[in-house]
Amino acid sequence: KVTYSCGLATYSEWVCLEHQGYARQKAAEWWRKRAPGCPVPMSVAEALAQTSRLARPSNISVRPSGRYLEISGYRFAACAHPTPASAPSATGNLAALAGSNRGSAAPTRGATPAASGSAALPVRTSAMGGRA
């Protein structure tokens, strides 16, 4: 279980490294996003010993899912000291984030308003000992 602390609120997700099938695949995907180039641990004990290798999200997005809020996205800040195994940060080249269409601050007539059920929040994680 990984718990993200956002101010006074906490949001959790399960990373099932010791499971089989779909749950294991999702856990492996979660690990690879945070530790590119590092092998996916086979056990929770092995994972806990390697938490210093994991990139920590600077923000998470949450959305309502029944009675709870589920984590729907992550944002990772640029690495201050990237390692050779790290993927280049998209924020290092802001022009690459611009897309091919020019943006406009003017609202589009008849446009659907943005959903208010999702929010980006700064986080601290339990897997990293609460460090941001």
Rounded Cα–Cα distance for residues 111 and 113 (Å) = 6
Q: Sign of the C-alpha dihedral, residues 46, 47, 49, 54?
A: positive
Q: What percent of the chain has pLDDT over 70?
A: 59
Encode 38-103 in three state secondary structure.
CCCCCCHHHHHHCHHHCCCCCEEEEEEECCEEEEEEEECCCCCCCCCCCCCCHHHCHHHHCCCCCC
Which pLDDT value is given to residue 77? 85
Q: Give the domain ranges of the chain.
A: 1-79+116-132
| pLDDT tens per residue, range 70-113 | 999 999 887 666 555 555 544 444 444 444 444 444 444 444 44
Give Cβ neighbours of residue 35 (< 8 Å, ≥ 6 apart).
Answer: 50, 53, 54, 55
pLDDT band at 11 (very low <50, low <70, confident <90, very high): very high
Neighbours of 76 (CB within 10 A): 16
